[in-house]
Amino acid sequence: MKPLLVARNLRRADSAREIFSVDYFSLNQGETIALIGPNGAGKTTFLLTLALLHQPTSGSIEIDGVTAGPNNLLHLRRRMAVVFQESLLLDMSVLGNLTTALRIRQAPRKTALARAQKWLDIFGVGHISSQQARLLSGGEAQRTSLARAFALEPDLLFLDEPFGSLDYPTRNSLLNDLGKILKQLNMTTLFVTHDYTEIPFLAEKTAVMYEGRIKKCGSNQEIFGHDFFQRNLWSPWAD
């Protein structure tokens, strides 16, 4: 399989200390990798660096064989979309949130409208497209922010605990929908979560980050063993 994203010797440090240091990490075309690890391990910082939103202190990131640098950063960023735990919607209508994101990326008005409506429908929020985003429930807001990410038709998707604030029924229905969509689109995704039960819905592989290092990366079975669902309380970053 061909890696769509490759990070080499990637490191970020501030004046006080190192936040992460990863010798090698890759995401193949069409694969979803879950990234887990305790609070403060460096997952979000690593994800934002791979999404080219944070600058690394050193190291390189290649997208489709092209090394990211000042000359192509904007272009490469436009191939990516990020969804966070908080939906970060603009104070405008649900539809407006999607069309604005698309217009910023230069989509013609008609295309933007059609694509926005299509993705709102797929994520089950098409019927509330004229509602103000600030009035949405948590689940609706998260569906809207996923629809916005997919409407951008990214090659790479980054999800940072996107279901963290949702109740279980809402989370499960969203996980089911998202799992199917990722497979249909053959999307390449990095997915950070603290809830291991979410992993098999979306990802085939899991990477474990601890104190800024990727300690393990392998199939879900290699990382969690056979009794995956029974091992929720187990700490995979412990030796």
Ligand X SMILES: Nc1ncnc2c1ncn2[C@@H]1O[C@H](COP(=O)(O)OP(=O)(O)OP(=O)(O)O)[C@@H](O)[C@H]1O
Binding positions for Mg ion, 28-47, rule CB under 5 A: 44
| 44: contact with ligand X by CB under 6 A | yes
**Gap between the Cα atoms of 116 and 52, Å rounded:** 24
| 37: contact with ligand X by CB under 6 A | yes
Residue recorded with tokens 């809207």: 144
Q: Which stretch binds ligand X (CB under 6 A): 35-43, 113-121, 165-173, 177-185?
A: 35-43
Edge-to-edge order in the sheet of strand 32-36: 80-83, 156-160, 188-192, 32-36, 205-210, 213-219
Beta-carbon count within 10 A of 151 CB: 26
Out of Mg ion, ligand X, none, what residue 45 binds, judged by CB under 5 to 8 A for its kind, is ligand X
Extended strands (E) in the chain = 3-13, 18-28, 32-36, 58-63, 66-67, 80-83, 156-160, 188-192, 205-210, 213-219
The interface mask with ligand X, positions 140-169, x = CB under 6 A, is: ------------------------------
| 19: contact with ligand X by CB under 6 A | yes
| 49: contact with Mg ion by CB under 5 A | no
Binding positions for ligand X, 62-81, rule CB under 6 A: none
Percent composition of the chain: helix, strand, coil (DSSP 3-state, to 5): 40, 25, 35
| 42: contact with ligand X by CB under 6 A | yes
- What's the min distance (Å) between Cβ of 43 and ligand X? 3
- What's the min distance (Å) between Cβ of 44 and Mg ion? 3
| 43: contact with ligand X by CB under 6 A | yes
Under 8 Å between Cβ of 191 and 202: yes
Binding site for Mg ion (CB under 5 A): 44
Residues that bind ligand X (CB under 6 A): 14, 19, 37, 39-45
